[in-house]
Amino acid sequence: MSRNDTLFARSQTHIPGGVNSPVRAFRSVGGTPRFFERGQGPHVWDADGKRYIDYIGSWGPLILGHAHPDIVEAVCATARSGMSYGAPTEREAEMAETLCRLVPSLEMVRLTSSGTEACMSAVRLARGFTGRNRIVKFEGCYHGHGDSLLVKAGSGMLTFGNPDSAGVPADLAAHTLVLQYNDIEGVKQVFAEMGDTIAAIIVEPVVGNMNLVAPEPGFLETLREVCTRHGSVLIFDEVMTGFRVALGGAQAHYGITPDLSTFGKVVGGGMPLAVFGGRADIMKHLAPLGPVYQAGTLSGNPVAVAAGLAQLKHLQTPGFHDALAAKTRALVDGMVGAAHDTGVAFSGQSVGGMFGVYFSAAVPKSYPEVMDSDRERFNRFFHHMLDAGVYLAPSAFEAGFVSAAHTDADIAETVAAARAAFAAL
């Protein structure tokens, strides 16, 4: 038995499924999850000492790679003067100012510890601000596991949502309308019929939770238009895209201004930190100024904020995102080229530092199209790559991430591994 096997067996005794977040369990690809002991730059080492080129980066946060010295130093130095106070610190003001400067739609922000909290708080705030209950989300978008957001499409034309998890009351899910991503006409129709009862649209401006699906021209613009017309709050969930597809997030990349936004992952540099924020007139409805309650014992934790600030500083180096985008594009182009040479139906795309690769001839544009890709083939590909020392997301339905620490040699090694994997499929 490998040490990974031993640790997995041990973990399953007292942790459901042996993991603290389900996708880590390798259920969709099969096999034993790798237990990691160390990460440095673009690489991670598992419990058996095997090295991998890492394209997950803790699911997005590690845009500078693992254990960046400036972030490690910020964490250690801050921790030495206290881990948490449950009282405000100057660093939080600095973080708020930095965020409002980098993302122009942010006038005020509040810090939380997870993207889940940020999204559920933004939805509560939008409901409190508008005095409406209904929200719109899109199938395949993930906004954390808040009850109102763990909702899938129901049957029928106008999709009042059904719970997407046991434990979510159907009465609550019914307030969430689930539409298809990139379905401009569907959005217009729902707003024409009931726009004045809709508190908010929440959307991933580039979806990274059903593999990667990019917005079609006009889609985000339509969301902006209908929200403006009907007094609904447009929430961009930039937990994944923020500071990754561009310094100012997807909203800067596509030039659309949401009313509220959520951030997480990159913003904390690998520590638990997330953000929601936006228009001051909306944010002023939050306690203690207003009637919408939201709080957190560890919100704005000094160590997490210090890590986030240290990482954000690097992202402001001129050309940072252009270089990251070029590297990510080179990876995708290399893999797609290798697949074509071996005759495998495979496609890929990238937006900034995130990418999607698909076992389908064309890049998917919606949830049903993503679902049509060849999952079984992906699973075999995944294991070939894992054996070759390349750690991709253990699911065909997750985006991948490149960091600034990945070198041309890492990309070349990955493309060579992919070529061998395609040939062996």
Q: Which stretch binds ligand PLP (CB under 6 A): 222-230, 232-240, 333-341, 357-365?
A: 232-240
Nearest-10 crossing angle of helices 408-424, 320-342: 20
Catalytic pick among 52, 55, 142, 254: 142
Q: Under the criterion CB under 6 A, does residue 116 sit at the interface with ligand PLP?
A: yes
The first and second tokens of residue 234, run together, are 């447009």
Q: Under the criterion CB under 6 A, does residue 240 sit at the interface with ligand PLP?
A: yes
Sign of CA dihedral 53, 58, 62, 67: negative
Q: What residues numbered 190-209 form the site for ligand PLP, per CB under 6 A?
A: 204, 208-209
Q: Which stretch binds ligand PLP (CB under 6 A): 27-35, 137-145, 153-161, 355-363?
A: 137-145
Q: Which of residues 116 and 301 has its CB atom nearest to ligand PLP in the complex?
A: 116
Residue 183 carries which side chain, given as an amino acid letter? D
Q: Nearest CA to 359 among 367, 369, 402, 350?
A: 369
Rounded to an integer, what distance in angstroms lies between the CA atom of residue 255 and that of residue 201? 18
Q: Under the criterion CB under 6 A, does residue 114 sit at the interface with ligand PLP?
A: yes
Catalytic pick among 137, 265, 391, 410: 265
Q: Which stretch binds ligand PLP (CB under 6 A): 68-76, 114-122, 186-194, 195-203?
A: 114-122
Q: 260 - beta bridge partners?
A: 235, 278
Q: Under the criterion CB under 6 A, does residue 144 sit at the interface with ligand PLP?
A: yes
265 is catalytic: yes
Q: Tell me, by CB under 6 A, how many residues bind ligand PLP.
A: 15
Q: Which residue has the tokens 């007094």?
A: 231
Which residues contact residue 199 at a Cβ distance below 8 angstroms, ignoring those fewer than 6 apart? 123, 126, 127, 129, 130, 132, 133, 134, 135, 232, 233
Out of 102, 119, 120, 198, point to the residue binding ligand PLP (CB under 6 A).
Answer: 119
Q: 134 - beta bridge partners?
A: 198
Catalytic pick among 54, 183, 237, 410: 237
Q: Which of residues 124 and 384 has its CB atom nearest to ligand PLP in the complex?
A: 124
The first and second tokens of residue 358, run together, are 């698909």
Chain position whose Cβ is nearest to ligand PLP: 115
In angstroms, what is the minimal distance from the CB of 262 to ligand PLP? 7
Which residues contact residue 202 at a Cβ distance below 8 angstroms, ignoring those fewer than 6 apart? 119, 122, 123, 135, 136, 137, 141, 143, 149, 235, 237
In angstroms, what is the minimal distance from the CB of 143 to ligand PLP? 5
Q: Which residue has the tokens 């074509």?
A: 340
Q: Which of residues 276 and 422 has its CB atom nearest to ligand PLP in the complex?
A: 276
Q: Nearest CA to 177 among 215, 214, 141?
A: 141
In angstroms, what is the minimal distance from the CB of 21 to ligand PLP? 7
Site string for ligand PLP, 316-355 (x = CB under 6 A): ----------------------------------------
Radius of gyration of the chain measured on its C-alpha atoms: 21
- Distances in Å between the Cα of 374 and the Cα atoms of 56, 256, 393 are 21, 34, 16
The first and second tokens of residue 63, run together, are 């845009």
142 is catalytic: yes
Binding site for ligand PLP (CB under 6 A): 114-116, 119, 142-144, 204, 208-209, 237, 239-240, 264, 274
Catalytic positions are 142, 237, 265
